[in-house]
């Protein structure tokens, strides 16, 4: 029997699903205050709830959905995508303190498994101990993070001391709570006043005042040969040209997600000289005609976030000229959000799932606008290149290559650090000239030339120039220039297993070859004797049919083992 209008109205007045709890709604309204309820701010708002209440409960998620006029399902699917959000069942709550222990490659090599084994019993049930992917401090492996407080060169005593002192925040330089490595985690930076006093922002201001034309600046960037330092190595000047040719308004998205195991160069520069990349961003914005700048910073970099919040506020308060709006956005624990289109989805407040291309983000990017997307370090070099001339940057290089590279070196060499060296240097030269040789008692066995994704090479191939393009013929790539040095204390198989475990955990799950392929490959690689034909077939499917670089590169370490370390898997 058809329902009357009155009956329909009655039916609609009872909403489906969970009802909004008045107390939870009041909590959310108080917490968000007058902040806009825009959809792209969803992840920012989820952080506020997580920070305040220690988790995301169902009543709070329902209240947030109501407040933001979004479907509960949309809020839930975003919240559950990111590792750092604790979505809990009614009445549940995680322990007040969480200790995350990095178990990615550099930390595993430095003994993080022992920490993961010992800490739960030592710290007791009131503390949750989780394993975590690379937290970007691989030079001081093994690393633990107590709440938001990083512990370089971690051992159980140091972690326990911070837990007992309830020292859960990244320490400031003037902190009264003792920290075993304050100078390491908070090295001190050039602030806005000092940067200006040293001539900072004069170049950006002079360009805005008409000192040079946009075409002249783009041409200088092209002449310098600067290539994107986030991994793909796309020529920076060419990218500026493409985006500038798109219709206004145009946006910029700066990538400081830095999740590739072994990589910490962006953090290194950001902790010391944050205005250098900001000035580079302003120059690029002027040259390309950018309306607004979005900066995406990984959640693990709490110290850097504080620096950026302070320094951007200082820049805004006393700008060198009328600068574009800048928005700082906080990641939430997802390696895939470093992939440029996934990052853009995340800035829009969504799950970090890579987009299908074309269209490219330079054409249709953030909020559907042409977007100049850059790694932070790429912008870090802009000022110096323009001040010293394009020939200065191109004038560096070795073995026929041009430019400078910031190598994050970790593993069994003596000096684990960011080493600024000529593009094209070989790993043997890097170890000898920059790292002080191998650690005592360690014999060079092999290396990862490009973090987790770039494959593994044996010591016998230590004379290949390290740069974009030079490693492709060996099934490897330089990526973000994270070099992991292996010794006779390591095996390539165990290294490859660690990397595949990482990819399997970090796959966004959107496409089957990557989601199922990484898990299946990991199972195959756990056997003492590898089923090589099957692994090769699986790898080919992942390379051919994955949507983004994670799935396409995930087989690289396994393929390297089969090609260069066959003695290990007989």
Ligand X SMILES: Cc1cc2nc3c(=O)[nH]c(=O)nc-3n(C[C@H](O)[C@H](O)[C@H](O)COP(=O)(O)O)c2cc1C
Torsional class of 273: left (φ above 0), alpha (ψ -120 to 50), beta (otherwise): beta
How is residue 89 written in tokens? 């069942």
* Residue 230 within binding range of ligand X, rule CB under 6 A: yes
Residue 119 or 141: which CB sits closer to ligand FES? 141
Say which entry of ligand FES, ligand SF4, ligand X, none residue 465 contacts (CB below 5 to 8 A, set by partner kind).
Answer: none
Residue 259 or 454: which CB sits closer to ligand X? 259
* Residue 556 within binding range of ligand SF4, rule CB under 6 A: no
Residue 229 or 457: which CB sits closer to ligand X? 229
Q: What are phi and psi of 294, to 5 degrees?
A: -110, 130
How many Å apart are CA 313 and CA 308, to the nearest integer?
A: 8
* Residue 550 within binding range of ligand SF4, rule CB under 6 A: yes
Task: Quickly tell me which residue has 């800048």 as its tokens.
Answer: 326
Starting at the edge strand that comes first in sequence, how are the strands of the sheet with 250-256 ordered? Answer: 325-330, 290-297, 250-256, 371-375
Taking the complex as a whole, the smallest distance from the CB of residue 539 to ligand SF4 amounts, in Å, to: 13
Residue 135 or 471: which CB sits closer to ligand FES? 135
* Residue 547 within binding range of ligand SF4, rule CB under 6 A: yes
Which residues in the 83-102 window bind ligand FES by CB under 6 A? 102
Which residues in the 134-153 window bind ligand FES by CB under 6 A? 134-138, 141, 143
How many Å apart are CA 290 and CA 281, to the nearest integer?
A: 10
Taking the complex as a whole, the smallest distance from the CB of residue 457 to ligand SF4 amounts, in Å, to: 24
For ligand SF4, the binding residue among 453, 493, 546, 556 (CB under 6 A) is 546
* Residue 501 within binding range of ligand FES, rule CB under 6 A: no
* Residue 515 within binding range of ligand SF4, rule CB under 6 A: yes
* Residue 510 within binding range of ligand SF4, rule CB under 6 A: yes
How many Å apart are CA 139 and CA 69, to the nearest integer?
A: 45
Q: Which one of the spans 35-43, 423-431, 448-456, 506-514 is the region binding ligand SF4 (CB under 6 A)?
A: 506-514
* Residue 229 within binding range of ligand X, rule CB under 6 A: yes
Say which entry of ligand X, ligand FES, ligand SF4, none residue 138 contacts (CB below 5 to 8 A, set by partner kind).
Answer: ligand FES
* Residue 299 within binding range of ligand X, rule CB under 6 A: no
224: exposed, middle or buried (Cβ count in 10 Å: 0-12, 13-18, 19+): buried
Residue 259 or 274: which CB sits closer to ligand FES? 259
Binding mask 511-550 for ligand X (x = CB under 6 A): -------------------------------------xxx
Say which entry of ligand FES, ligand SF4, ligand X, none residue 105 contacts (CB below 5 to 8 A, set by partner kind).
Answer: ligand FES
Q: DSSP for 191-229, please give it.
A: -HHHHHHTTTTHHHHHHHTTSS-HHHHHHHHHHHT-B-T
Which residues in the 354-413 window bind ligand X by CB under 6 A? 373-375, 378
* Residue 336 within binding range of ligand SF4, rule CB under 6 A: yes
Say which entry of ligand SF4, ligand FES, ligand X, none residue 48 contacts (CB below 5 to 8 A, set by partner kind).
Answer: none
Say which entry of ligand X, ligand SF4, ligand FES, none residue 102 contacts (CB below 5 to 8 A, set by partner kind).
Answer: ligand FES
**Given 3-state DSSP classes, what are the helix, strand and coil percentages for the chain, each rounded to the nearest 5?**
45, 15, 40
How many Å apart are CA 303 and CA 257, to the nearest integer?
A: 14
Residue 333 makes CB contacts below 8 A (sequence gap 6+) with 82, 83, 84, 85, 132, 298, 299, 300
CA proximity to 411, closest of 195, 109, 99: 109
Kindly state the number of chain residues that form the binding site for ligand SF4, as judged by CB under 6 A.
14
* Residue 382 within binding range of ligand FES, rule CB under 6 A: no
CA proximity to 454, closest of 552, 538, 548, 570: 552
Q: Report the SS3 class of residue 497.
A: helix
How many Å apart are CA 413 and CA 3, to the nearest integer?
A: 77
Residue 125 makes CB contacts below 8 A (sequence gap 6+) with 95
Beta bridge partners of 344: none
Q: What torsion do the CA atoms of 410, 496, 234, 230 make, to the nearest 10 degrees?
A: -40
For ligand X, the binding residue among 232, 519, 524, 543 (CB under 6 A) is 232
* Residue 106 within binding range of ligand FES, rule CB under 6 A: yes
Taking the complex as a whole, the smallest distance from the CB of residue 354 to ligand SF4 amounts, in Å, to: 4
Task: Quickly tell me which residue has 């590792």 as its tokens.
Answer: 83
Taking the complex as a whole, the smallest distance from the CB of residue 533 to ligand SF4 amounts, in Å, to: 23
* Residue 339 within binding range of ligand X, rule CB under 6 A: yes
**DSSP type of residue 451:** T
Binding mask 354-383 for ligand SF4 (x = CB under 6 A): x-----------------------------
Taking the complex as a whole, the smallest distance from the CB of residue 542 to ligand SF4 amounts, in Å, to: 8
Residue 381 · residue 280 · CB < 8 Å: yes
Residue 158 · residue 119 · CB < 8 Å: no
Kindly give the interhelix angle for 492-506 and 556-564, rounded to the nearest 10 degrees: 160
Residues binding ligand SF4 (CB under 6 A): 336, 354, 507-511, 514-515, 546-548, 550-551
Residues binding ligand X (CB under 6 A): 228-232, 234, 255, 257-260, 336, 338-340, 373-375, 378, 548-550
Residues binding ligand FES (CB under 6 A): 102, 104-107, 134-138, 141, 143, 261
């Amino acid at each position: 029997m058809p329902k009357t209008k009155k009956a329909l109205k009655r039916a609609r007045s009872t909403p489906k699903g969970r009802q909004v709890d008045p107390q939870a709604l009041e909590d959310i309204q108080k917490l968000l205050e007058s902040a806009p309820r825009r959809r792209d701010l969803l992840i920012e708002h989820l952080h506020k709830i997580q920070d305040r209440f220690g988790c995301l409960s169902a009543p709070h998620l329902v209240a947030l959905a109501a407040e933001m006029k979004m479907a509960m399902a949309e809020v839930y699917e975003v919240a559950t995508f990111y590792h750092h959000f604790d979505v809990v069942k009614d009445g549940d709550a995680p322990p007040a303190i969480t200790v995350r222990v990095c178990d990615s490659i550099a930390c595993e090599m430095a003994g993080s498994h022992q920490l993961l084994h010992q800490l739960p019993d030592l710290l007791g049930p009131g503390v949750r101990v989780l394993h975590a992917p690379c937290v970007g401090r691989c030079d001081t492996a093994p690393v633990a993070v107590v709440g938001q407080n990083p512990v370089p060169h971690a051992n159980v005593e140091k972690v326990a001391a911070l837990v007992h002192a309830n020292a859960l925040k990244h320490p400031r330089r003037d902190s009264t709570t003792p920290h075993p490595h304050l100078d390491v985690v908070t090295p001190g930076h050039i602030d806005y006043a000092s940067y200006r006093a040293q001539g900072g922002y004069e170049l950006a201001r002079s360009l805005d005042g008409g000192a040079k034309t946009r075409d002249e600046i783009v041409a200088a960037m092209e002449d310098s040969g600067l290539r994107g330092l986030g991994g793909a190595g796309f020529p920076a000047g060419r990218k500026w040209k493409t985006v500038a040719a798109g219709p206004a308004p145009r946006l910029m998205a700066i990538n400081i997600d830095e999740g590739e195991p072994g990589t910490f160069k962006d953090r290194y520069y950001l902790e010391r000289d944050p205005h250098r990349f900001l000035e580079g961003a302003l120059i690029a914005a002027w040259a390309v005609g950018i309306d607004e700048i979005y900066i995406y910073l990984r959640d693990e970099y709490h110290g850097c976030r504080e620096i950026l919040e302070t320094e951007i506020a200082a820049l805004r308060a006393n700008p060198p000229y009328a600068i574009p709006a800048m928005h700082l956005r906080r990641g939430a624990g997802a390696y895939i959000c470093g992939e440029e289109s996934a990052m853009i989805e995340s800035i829009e407040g969504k799950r970090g799932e890579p987009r299908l291309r074309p269209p490219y983000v330079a054409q249709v990017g953030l909020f559907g606008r042409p977007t100049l997307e850059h790694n932070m370090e790429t912008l870090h070099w802009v000022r110096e290149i323009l001040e010293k001339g394009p020939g200065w940057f191109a004038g560096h290089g070795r073995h026929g290559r041009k430019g400078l590279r910031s190598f994050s070196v970790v593993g069994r060499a003596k000096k684990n650090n960011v080493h600024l060296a000529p593009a094209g240097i070989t790993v043997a030269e890097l170890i000898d000239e920059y790292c002080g040789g191998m650690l005592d008692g360690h014999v060079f066995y092999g290396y990862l030339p490009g973090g987790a994704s770039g494959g593994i090479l044996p010591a016998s191939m230590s004379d290949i120039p390290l740069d974009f393009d030079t490693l492709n013929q060996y099934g490897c790539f330089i990526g973000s220039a994270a070099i992991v040095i292996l010794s006779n204390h390591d095996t390539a198989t165990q290294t490859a297993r660690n990397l595949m475990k990482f990819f399997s955990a970090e796959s966004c799950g959107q496409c089957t070859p990557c989601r199922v392929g990484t898990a299946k490959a990991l199972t195959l690689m756990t056997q003492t004797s590898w089923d090589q034909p099957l692994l090769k077939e699986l790898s080919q499917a992942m390379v051919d049919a994955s949507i983004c670089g994670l799935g396409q590169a995930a087989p690289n370490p396994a393929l390297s083992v089969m090609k260069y370390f066959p003695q290990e898997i007989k």
